Structure formats: C-alpha cells, structure tokens
Amino acid sequence: MHNHVIPAAALDLLRRDAGYGVTLDGDQWSGAHHVPFTVVASFHDPAAKITEMDAKGIGSAVVSCPPPLFFYDVSRDRSIELCEASNAGMAEFCTTHPERLRWLAHLPMQDPPHAVKAYQAALLQGCVGAAIGTSIAGQRLDEPEFEEFWVAAEQAGKPVLLHPAFNEPHRGLEPYYLQNVIGNPLETTITVERLICAGVFTRHPALRLVIVHGGGFLPYQAGRLAHACEVRPEITVPPSDVWQAFGQLYFDSLTHNTSALRYLTEHVGHNHVLLGTDLPFDMGGGSGHGLGRSARRAGTRRGRLGERDPPVRSGGYARSQRLDLAGRRALVPVLRGQAAERGENHAALRVLVWAVRIGA
C-alpha cells in the first residue's frame, strides 16, 4: 500500500491542457499545488516500478495516484477527465505484472455524485479500492455532501486510502519543509478524528480506511480525543466510538523510525499495519526486509508491554475494548513477521493484494 504512480495517460493530458497549471519540463514537474519534483521512471514505467520494488525487497504493491494528481480545485470536467485517464492508465500499468500490481481508483471528490460514478466505473475496470485526499481542496470529508461517497465506499466492500492533501495553511509550518514533515501527519489526524466525531465510522461499520505515514499522530493521541469525549460538550459521540473506529482503520508502516513502528504495531495490532513506502518520492522509504525486522522486534516485546499497561496490550485498541474484531480480517497483515524477515515478503504481500482485490 501507499506506492505511487503517475500514469503516462495522465502525464499526456497534463502536457496537452495548460488548465491544470502543471509545467512538465522533461521529467521536472512544477506548478499546481505541489513542490517541484522529478517524475522518475518508476512513476509511469511498469518495468522501472518492478525494478524499484525488487531493489526494496517488495514483492507486490497496490499503487495509487499521489497528491499532485488530486485536482480537486479545478473544474469538474477537468477533474473527471484526469481521473478517467489516471484510472485507465493504472489499469493498463497493472496488467503488465498482474501477479504483483493492483491499483486504487482516483476520484473527482469535489463532486461526490460523480466520484461515486467514477468509483463504480473503476471497480468494473479492476481497482481494489480508492485513494482520496484528506481534504478536498478545503472541504472536509465529514461534511454532509460526502455521505453518499461513504455509503458507496462501504457498499463496495473495498478499502479507501486517505492521503494528506491540500493541507490547511499554518504559518509555523512554512519553513524547513514542515508543511510536509508535520503538516501531512497533522492533516491525517484532523481528518480521521473529525470522521470519528461526526459518527462516520459508526454509521458505516463495514467501512475500512487505510491511513498513511503510520496514521499521523492519531495512534499516539487517540486517548486525548477519548478523554475529550467524556468531558467536553462539543463532542457528542461516546469515548467508545474512538476505540471502535480503530477496528476499521489500517495503518501504513511509514514511520521512518523503528521505535515508532514498534509502538504502532503494539497499539493497533500487527494485523492492522500494512507495508507502506510512499515510493518513489524522496520522503518515501521502507523496505520489505526492514519491515520484517521491525515486526519481529515488535513481536518479542508484546508480552512485556501488556503486563505493564493492560489497556494497550497486544492486539491493539480494539481488542483492549473487547470489540468485534471481524474487521481485522478485512485486510491480511503484512507484518506477520518472519516471512518478510526471510525476504519472503513477496508471498505475504501477494496475500494482501488478493485480500484487497476480493474485499475480504
């Protein structure tokens, strides 16, 4: 999960139509709403993607479009055309290595009725879920107009990946690339906590979300939200809804820190952590081999943590709250440990891909 592509069909459209505001000078991307970056071959060339995955020890990947392609701020027609080109391009991209690649639909979320139609069309094209921004150019996903999308996403029975996008401006984050370093995990935290407070997970118990960058600050700060549910009149959902939501959430492993990944797996349960790479961006990382090592370390520590702090014992928040864990089977874990440690994560990820494809 969380492995990016920019299909050639989308690049062609951006070159043809200046209305998107993107300048492509060779492989240099500039403009629109993203910092300049190099469109390396693994964004659009399946052979280069496979080579990159092999180098990282990654057997299989569920690819998705990155935020630079989230044109939620352009006209509806342009957004629809770009999403259609992206989805057709990803379908073609993945047919080159069907045993190793699957894709998530790109949707024109600024128009929820059309986003639903686009998702239904993409499902027929073979997508295994959808990838959307945490913010739809300023609109928040818990607002009423997105309810029909959540209904459709739940009915589809496939995961929705939430990726930070259109981060709210914050003067303190302007220097040092902090709009990405802090702003991205902050955006994820804002979006998921708002969805919890708005009751989206409660209304749609079969909904499954994948949140990136280790879940932002959510795994570390969810207790604060639950406490606020108890003491503050601004929040009307019960504290149990916070923990219940964790049964519907899956977290990518991209923390850039072994201790943080260990904390994540211990808290949410290793069955809810998926290999995430953010490749091929420079803020990406994560190799299958390194993930395996982290999983093994986390596994050896679970018992001790459980003795010290029963509420967060192995199995995660959901288990600690004695919740229905049926959702734990919705996505097969990649962090099951030793297979990945031996470099056999190809097989483990293939299981994940199949589970996502069938909506298990």
The DSSP element (H or E) to which 103 belongs, if any, is strand 101-103
In this structure, the number of other CB atoms found within 10 A of the CB of residue 309 comes to 12
Minimum distance of Zn ion from residue 311's CB (angstroms)? 32
> Helices 112-125 and 76-95 meet at what angle, rounded to 10?
20
- Pick 241 or 278: Cβ nearer Zn ion: 278
Minimum distance of Zn ion from residue 212's CB (angstroms)? 6
- Pick 65 or 229: Cβ nearer Zn ion: 65
CB 58 within 8 A of CB 275: yes
| Selected binder of Zn ion within 84, 252, 266, 278 (CB under 5 A) | 278
- Pick 242 or 261: Cβ nearer Zn ion: 261
Size of the site for Zn ion (CB under 5 A): 1
Q: What token pair was written down for 266?
A: 């211990």
Residue closest to 85 by CA, chosen among 105, 101, 66: 105
- Pick 61 or 237: Cβ nearer Zn ion: 61
Minimum distance of Zn ion from residue 59's CB (angstroms)? 20
Phi-psi region of 213 (alpha: psi -120 to 50; beta: other; left: phi over 0): left
Minimum distance of Zn ion from residue 284's CB (angstroms)? 7
Minimum distance of Zn ion from residue 218's CB (angstroms)? 17
Minimum distance of Zn ion from residue 261's CB (angstroms)? 17
Q: Which stretch binds Zn ion (CB under 5 A): 54-62, 109-117, 270-278, 285-293?
A: 270-278
Minimum distance of Zn ion from residue 62's CB (angstroms)? 12
Residue closest to 330 by CA, chosen among 296, 295, 354: 354
- Pick 116 or 162: Cβ nearer Zn ion: 162
- Pick 188 or 320: Cβ nearer Zn ion: 188
Q: Which stretch binds Zn ion (CB under 5 A): 78-86, 152-160, 203-211, 277-285?
A: 277-285
Q: Which stretch binds Zn ion (CB under 5 A): 14-22, 54-62, 123-131, 278-286?
A: 278-286
How many whole angstroms separate alpha carbon 345 and alpha carbon 328? 20
In this structure, the number of other CB atoms found within 10 A of the CB of residue 95 comes to 11
- Is the Cα torsion angle 233, 236, 241, 246 positive or negative in sign? negative
- Is the Cα torsion angle 130, 136, 137, 140 positive or negative in sign? negative
- Pick 193 or 278: Cβ nearer Zn ion: 278
Give residue number: closest CB to Zn ion: 278
84 binds Zn ion (CB under 5 A): no
Minimum distance of Zn ion from residue 184's CB (angstroms)? 8
How many whole angstroms separate alpha carbon 309 and alpha carbon 52? 40
The DSSP element (H or E) to which 211 belongs, if any, is strand 209-211
CB 106 within 8 A of CB 83: yes
Q: Which stretch binds Zn ion (CB under 5 A): 69-77, 215-223, 228-236, 276-284?
A: 276-284
- Pick 154 or 278: Cβ nearer Zn ion: 278
Q: What token pair was written down for 219?
A: 């795994």
Residues that bind Zn ion (CB under 5 A): 278
